[in-house]
């Protein structure tokens, strides 16, 4: 009789520890959509490069600039969708979107991401662009692993996968495009679907 | 019975357990954060934080953010240790049944 109360106590403790330190209202659907944007962006870029640039990319070319624009657009749309759907989910769960847990999550996610972004810009400026695809995957993966401590723990696995893909990409730069498509496109869709059914449809 | 000895009377209340749980995983928490998380009234929360403070399990810092007073709490080393012991004792009791 008493042990039943103790069990309830323990469950409540676990619940409070999670609620007070982790931001768990991330939306699975936003992962699916981010992956879809990445696939659409990659398709357009692929088509542009094969149709208008004879299958190669030069750094100062017009097509290259278009590809960078597509990349930024994909990143921007993914962020907007993520913020919108997460806000909606947080409201539904009755938690604040901007509290200590979400702030901590954002900061810890952004540190590796911004460092990586700056690093890529620096080496692009030095004409070393062969590794930029690999670096994007690696730093994004590190950002996810770092953020996972402050959110749903499963994000960690997506991070590991991105890091591994990034390392493969570093060894096989010729397949960079396809590894990028797998990492940012397909993995986001698989992961988002998994999260959606695990957490959102309860 | 050593198990019974480890059940800490100071923690024998769900709000106190709640305060400790939050402070175990956060560097610190302020009064309003605890109030929201535990869903309790001001007076109720204040009396329980006082009891934990008296036992030296939590530390209280009063400061001003702008012109607003702000009270924030953190867990002491002793509190952390005692809380862990308490949880272990609870787990043992549950596993026995």
The shortest C-alpha distance from B24 to chain A (Å) reads 8
- Cβ atoms B22, B37 nearer than 8 A: yes
B82 within domain boundaries: yes
The shortest C-alpha distance from B90 to chain A (Å) reads 6
More confident residue, A53 or B47: B47
Which of A45-54, B21-30, B74-83 is most confident?
B74-83
Q: Per residue in B53-89, pLDDT tens?
A: 999 999 999 988 888 888 999 999 999 999 999 988 8
B93/A6 CB distance under 8 A: yes
B58 within domain boundaries: yes
Neighbours of B7 (CB within 10 A): 16
B10 within domain boundaries: yes
A10/B38 CB distance under 8 A: no
User: What's the confidence (pLDDT) of residue A173?
Assistant: 84
Compare CB distances from B93 to A3, A16, A19 and report the shortest one's residue: A3
User: What DSSP character marks residue A197?
Assistant: I
Say whether pLDDT at A59 is over 80.
no
B29 within domain boundaries: yes
* Residue-level length of chain A: 202
Structural domain count of chain B: 1
Q: Which of A193, A199, A137, A146 lies closest to A169 in space, CA to CA? A: A137
- Cβ atoms A198, A46 nearer than 8 A: no
Alpha helices in A2-153 (DSSP H): 2-21, 28-52, 62-93, 100-125, 132-148
B93/A13 CB distance under 8 A: no
B80 within domain boundaries: yes
End-to-end CA distance of chain B: 16
CB < 8 Å to A2, chain B: 93
User: What DSSP character marks residue B59?
Assistant: E
A6/B24 CB distance under 8 A: no
Q: Which of B16, B40, B46, B78 lies closest to A9 in space, CA to CA? A: B16
B97/A12 CB distance under 8 A: no
For A24, the 3-state DSSP assignment is coil
A100/B33 CB distance under 8 A: yes
User: What's the confidence (pLDDT) of residue B5?
Assistant: 64
CB < 8 Å to A21, chain B: 25-26
Q: Per residue in A98-136, pLDDT tens?
A: 877 888 899 999 999 999 999 999 998 888 878 888 999
Question: pTM for the full model?
Answer: 0.78
B97/A3 CB distance under 8 A: yes
Q: Per residue in A139-167, pLDDT tens?
A: 999 999 999 988 877 899 999 999 999 99
Residue A20 to residue B24: CA distance in whole angstroms:
10
Neighbours of A62 (CB within 10 A): 11
Mean of pLDDT over chain A: 88
- Cβ atoms A87, A103 nearer than 8 A: no
Structure tokens at A153: 């723990």
For the question of an ipTM over 0.90, the answer is: no
A9/B91 CB distance under 8 A: no
B24 within domain boundaries: yes
Instruction: Among A6, A94, A98, A101, pick the best mutation site for testing chain B contact (most B Cβ within 10 A).
Output: A6
Q: What is the CATH number of the domain that holds B12?
A: 1.10.10.10
User: What DSSP character marks residue A130?
Assistant: T
Q: CB-hemisphere CA count at 13 Å for B66?
A: 1
What's the domain range around B16? 2-92
The shortest C-alpha distance from A117 to chain B (Å) reads 30
Alpha helices in B1-97 (DSSP H): 2-6, 14-25, 31-38, 42-54, 77-96
Residue B91's alpha-carbon distances to A6, A14, A199, B17, B52, in angstroms, are 8, 13, 28, 14, 22
Nearest CA in chain A to B26: A21
B46 within domain boundaries: yes
B97 within domain boundaries: no
């Amino acid at each position: 009789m008493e042990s039943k109360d103790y069990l309830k106590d323990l469950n409540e403790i676990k619940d409070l520890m999670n609620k007070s330190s982790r931001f768990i209202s991330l939306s699975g659907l936003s992962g699916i959509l981010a992956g879809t944007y990445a696939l659409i962006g990659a398709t357009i870029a692929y088509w542009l490069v094969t149709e208008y640039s004879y299958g190669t990319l030069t750094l100062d070319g017009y097509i290259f600039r278009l590809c960078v624009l597509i990349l930024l657009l994909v990143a921007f749309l993914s962020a907007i969708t993520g913020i919108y759907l997460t806000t909606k989910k947080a409201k539904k769960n009755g938690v604040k979107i901007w509290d200590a847990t979400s702030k901590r999550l954002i900061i810890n996610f952004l540190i590796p991401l911004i460092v990586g972004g700056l690093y890529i810009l620096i080496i692009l400026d030095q004409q070393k662009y062969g590794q930029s695809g690999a670096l994007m995957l690696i730093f994004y993966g590190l950002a996810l692993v770092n953020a996972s401590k402050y959110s749903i723990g499963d994000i960690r696995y997506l991070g590991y996968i991105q890091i591994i893909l990034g390392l493969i990409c570093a060894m096989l730069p010729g397949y960079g495009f396809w590894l990028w498509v797998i990492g940012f496109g397909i993995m986001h869709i698989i992961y988002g679907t998994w999260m959606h059914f695990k957490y959102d449809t309860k | 019975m050593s198990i019974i000895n480890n059940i800490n009377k100071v923690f024998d209340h769900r709000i106190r357990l709640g305060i400790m749980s939050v402070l175990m995983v956060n560097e610190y928490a302020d009064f309003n954060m605890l109030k929201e998380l535990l869903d309790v009234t001001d007076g109720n929360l204040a009396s329980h934080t006082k009891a934990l403070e008296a036992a030296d399990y939590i530390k209280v810092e009063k400061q001003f953010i702008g012109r607003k007073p702000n009270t924030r709490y953190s867990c002491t080393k002793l509190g952390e240790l005692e809380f862990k012991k308490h949880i272990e004792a609870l787990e043992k009791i549950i596993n026995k049944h």
